[in-house]
């Protein structure tokens, strides 16, 4: 079996070591004997989107996020939306999450358009407002997800949207409604850095399994020795006071 991972804007959107998510998925596949290919997807036309099984994008600073937004909306958006409607598994973190929503409105009122795959929008409450920063613990499918968040924008989900997780400790989407992230079909948005997947191997395997089942039909994942990952997860829980 083989999976193809697309790393979207690896140079523009790679804050807080989000590249670790790509490395994690690649390694967890290889340890199980699954052939994996990682493709760097920079600005410009996207060819062969149907060959992608997993898509990952991280966070970026304002200038880089602006450049990514323009390319995403004007060039890659239609192709990626079609692929995600067809079941492409995608994980978007922080700024990438915002760009997968409808728009991000900054503290001046200027808007960055997103590709509106996730039914959510993001606004910045204004210059001088408190950032959402710190260790975070959430509940996802009865399991704890741990990470680190650092974002000024507040994301709000439409009534039809599903959150990825529920906040136990931290801010999450907006610090108000205890939602964290969003999901639609096999597309997931989140504010959790860390990197997220190395500290949360169950979620990493969830993404891999979804990708395998979409591409190859019935599939299962043999367990791995996750002692190191479990130790990192528990350490993150202690730091967060949970």
Question: For residue 14, what pLDDT band results from cuts at 50, 70 and 90?
Answer: confident
Percent of the chain exceeding pLDDT 90 equals: 89
Reduced to 3 states (helix: H, G, I; strand: E, B; else coil), residue 94 is coil
Q: For residues 132 and 100, what is the distance between their CA atoms, to the nearest angstrom?
A: 20
For residue 5, the model assigns a pLDDT of: 99
Per-residue pLDDT tens over the stretch 149-173: 999 999 999 998 999 999 999 999 9
Closest CA to 179 of 194, 164, 158, 169: 164
Which residues belong to the active site? 94, 193
187 contact partners, CB below 8 Å, separation of at least 6: 84, 88, 89, 90, 92, 100, 117, 118
Question: What confidence tens digit (pLDDT) does each residue in 44-100 have?
Answer: 999 999 999 999 999 988 888 889 999 999 999 999 999 999 999 999 999 999 999
Please say whether the beta carbons of 121 and 161 come within 8 A.
Answer: no
DSSP string, 15-75: GGGTHHHHHHHHHHHHTTT-EEEEEEE-SS----GGG-SEEEE----HHHHHHHHHHIIII
Residue reference for tokens 């409607």: 85
Q: What is the pTM of this model?
A: 0.96
- 210 band by pLDDT with thresholds 50, 70 and 90: very high
Q: Cβ of 95: how many Cβ atoms within 10 Å?
A: 29
Rounded to the nearest 5°, which phi and psi values hold at 212? -65, -45
Say yes or no to pLDDT of 21 above 90: yes
Banded model confidence at residue 242, pLDDT cuts 50, 70, 90: low
Determine the Cα–Cα distance for residues 72 and 135; give it in Å rounded to an integer.
30
Domains, the chain, with CATH or none: 2-239 (3.40.50.880)
Residue 22, pLDDT score: 98
Q: Tell me the average pLDDT across 201-209.
A: 99
């Amino acid at each position: 079996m083989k999976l193809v991972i697309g790393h979207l804007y690896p140079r523009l959107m790679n804050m807080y070591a989000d590249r670790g998510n790509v490395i994690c998925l690649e390694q967890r596949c290889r340890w199980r004997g699954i052939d994996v290919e990682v493709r760097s997807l920079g600005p410009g036309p996207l060819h062969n989107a149907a060959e992608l099984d997993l898509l990952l994008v991280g966070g970026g600073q304002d200038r880089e996020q602006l450049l990514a937004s323009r390319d995403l909306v004007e060039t890659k958006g239609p192709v990626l939306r079609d692929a995600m409607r067809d079941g492409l598994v995608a994980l978007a973190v922080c700024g990438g999450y915002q760009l997968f929503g409808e728009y991000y409105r900054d503290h001046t009122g200027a808007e960055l358009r997103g590709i509106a795959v996730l039914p959510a929008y993001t606004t910045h409450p204004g210059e001088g407002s408190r950032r959402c920063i710190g260790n975070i613990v959430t509940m996802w499918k009865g399991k704890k997800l741990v990470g680190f968040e650092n974002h000024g924008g507040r994301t709000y989900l439409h009534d039809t949207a599903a959150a990825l997780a529920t906040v136990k400790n931290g801010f999450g989407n907006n610090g108000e409604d205890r939602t964290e992230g969003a999901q639609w079909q096999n597309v997931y948005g989140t504010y959790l850095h860390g990197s997220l997947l190395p500290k949360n191997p169950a979620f990493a395997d969830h993404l891999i399994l979804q990708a395998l089942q979409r591409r190859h039909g019935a599939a299962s994942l043999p367990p791995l020795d996750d002692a190191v990952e479990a130790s990192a997860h528990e350490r993150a829980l202690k730091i967060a006071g949970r």
